[in-house]
Amino acid sequence: MAVAISTLDTIRDKVVARERLDFEDGLALLESDDLLAVGELADLARRVRGGDDRVYFVQNLNLYQTNVCRVKCKFCAFAVTQKEQGAYTYTAEELVEDASRQRELTGFTEIHMVGGESPHVDFTYYVEIVRHLHEALPDVHLKLFTASEIHHMSKLASLSHEQVLRDLQAAGLGSLPGGGAEVFADRVRRLVAPGKEHPDEWFDVHRTAHGLGMPTQCTMLYGHVETYEERVDHWLRLRELQDETGGFLSFIPLAFHPENTVFERRGWTHTAGSDDLKMIAASRLLLDNVPHVKAYWIMMGLPLAQVALHFGADDVQGTVVREEIFHAAGASTETEQKIDELARVVRAAGRIPVQRDTLYNELRRWE
Ligand code: SF4
């Protein structure tokens, strides 16, 4: 029996017929040298599935509760030990004071906060952070803690993921960001994040959150030791959970930044812009059930993010204000953009800027 060979033409036929792409299609997209054709296919898929010219962003604030971490992922330039210079762990009061000051300046609607897995705090610390932030800023959506951090809390407190999430939700947690996914393949995780929990735990946290009515995001950290096959496997695993729960709001491909990591000493460099664009496009094409794909401007810079809007992305994330994780690893982008600047950039790319809240309700549209 002849084996069907996946080409951009066969993928186009599937997109138009709204058929699901498979593993071979994913490989064909990543292996293609025709970058513009891949981008055009992704934009077509986005439109065929109901997308229009709107591009979203949120007025948000990034916070980091601690940079102390026990895990030692090899790609991480952010984490330190408690004794290292520059180590910090903020109290709930300090975080509230900082966030309240920023709120007066910008009126952000979302706090995005992640941090290291510190062994020097207990679960109460996390619950108190959420409670204090929620009480001080009740109108602000709290998108806090990666699945890895939730798993860390479950270990600290000897509680199930569900109980941890229920306690945090009761304190005011609204949703989870998508970090900690890295690349799910066991081989990759052993090489770059041997101290991290098994991917099954990541999936269990997200499945449980979705079951509690808590939406989440999902990511892939690409551009290190993973193969194309492992990238496609990662997307298909996410797609499977989304079929089951429908709880992912968006997917964010994150390019690996090598500075200040062990990989810098091996002479590794940043991903090429062409790979970043191909990842946006292939993500949009394969993840047919995840509503939004983000071109995270902090990672790729605003000019490439503008191009990515024609490669299947429909979100540029947000104002951010402070970014520490990618900048510790060498990102040279700004750390803050004003809402009007994001709107200008989106409009200049030929799209309609829309300020959204965390759950994609429209707050303002620039026609
Ligand atoms: S990526 Fe996260 S878990 Fe890994 S070392 Fe850095 S802060 Fe810790």
CB 219 within 8 A of CB 185: no
Token output for 316? 């540029």
Mean pLDDT computed over 195-214: 97
As a whole number of angstroms, the distance between CA 339 and CA 321 comes to 11
pLDDT at 3: 57
**Quick check: CB of 66 below 6 Å from ligand 1?**
no
Candidate from 71, 192, 256 with most ligand 1 atoms within 8 A of CB, to mutate: 71
**pLDDT tens digits, residue range 109-166?**
999 999 999 999 999 999 999 999 999 999 999 999 999 999 999 999 999 999 999 9
As a whole number of angstroms, the distance between CA 177 and CA 325 comes to 14
Mean pLDDT computed over 269-283: 94
Residue 4 banded pLDDT, cuts 50, 70, 90: low
Across 145-262, where does the E strand assignment appear?
A: 216-222, 248-255
Site of tokens 């900082």: 98
- Cα-Cα-Cα-Cα dihedral sign, residues 8, 305, 241, 200: positive
pLDDT at 6: 83
Q: Which residues of 33-60 are buried (b: 16+ CB within 10 A; e: fewer)?
A: eeeebbbbbbbbbbeeeebeebbbbbbb
**pLDDT tens digits, residue range 24-36?**
999 999 999 999 9
**Quick check: CB of 195 below 6 Å from ligand 1?**
no
- Over 80: is that where the pLDDT of 92 sits? yes
**pLDDT tens digits, residue range 280-321?**
999 999 999 999 999 998 888 899 999 999 999 999 998 877
pLDDT at 308: 98
- Over 80: is that where the pLDDT of 91 sits? yes
**Quick check: CB of 182 below 6 Å from ligand 1?**
no
**Quick check: CB of 80 below 6 Å from ligand 1?**
no
Residue 265 alpha carbon to ligand 1 centre in Å = 19
Residue nearest to atom 4 of ligand 1 (CA): 73
- Over 60: is that where the pLDDT of 2 sits? no
In sequence order, the 6+-apart residues with CB closer than 8 A to the CB of 270 are 223, 255, 256, 257, 258, 330
**pLDDT tens digits, residue range 35-83?**
999 999 999 999 999 999 999 999 999 999 999 999 989 888 899 999 9
pLDDT at 137: 98
Q: What share of the chain has pLDDT > 70, as a percent?
A: 97
Residue 357 banded pLDDT, cuts 50, 70, 90: very high
DSSP 8-state symbol, 279: H
As a whole number of angstroms, the distance between CA 338 and CA 1 comes to 58
CB 335 within 8 A of CB 320: yes
Residue 146 alpha carbon to ligand 1 centre in Å = 10
pLDDT at 189: 95
Residue nearest to atom 7 of ligand 1 (CA): 116
**Quick check: CB of 116 below 6 Å from ligand 1?**
yes
As a whole number of angstroms, the distance between CA 229 and CA 23 comes to 8
Residue 349 alpha carbon to ligand 1 centre in Å = 34
Based on the number of CB atoms within 10 Å of its own CB, is 103 exposed (0-12), middle (13-18) or buried (19 or more)? middle
What pTM was computed for the model? 0.95
As a whole number of angstroms, the distance between CA 331 and CA 260 comes to 11
Report the run of H or E that residue 156 belongs to, with start and end. helix 147-157
Q: Which of 162, 177, 247, 190 is nearest to 219 (CA)?
A: 177
**Quick check: CB of 76 below 6 Å from ligand 1?**
yes
Ligand 1 nearest-atom number relative to CA 67: 7
In sequence order, the 6+-apart residues with CB closer than 8 A to the CB of 116 are 66, 67, 68, 69, 70, 71, 78, 79, 80
**pLDDT tens digits, residue range 215-224?**
999 999 999 9
Mean pLDDT of the chain: 94
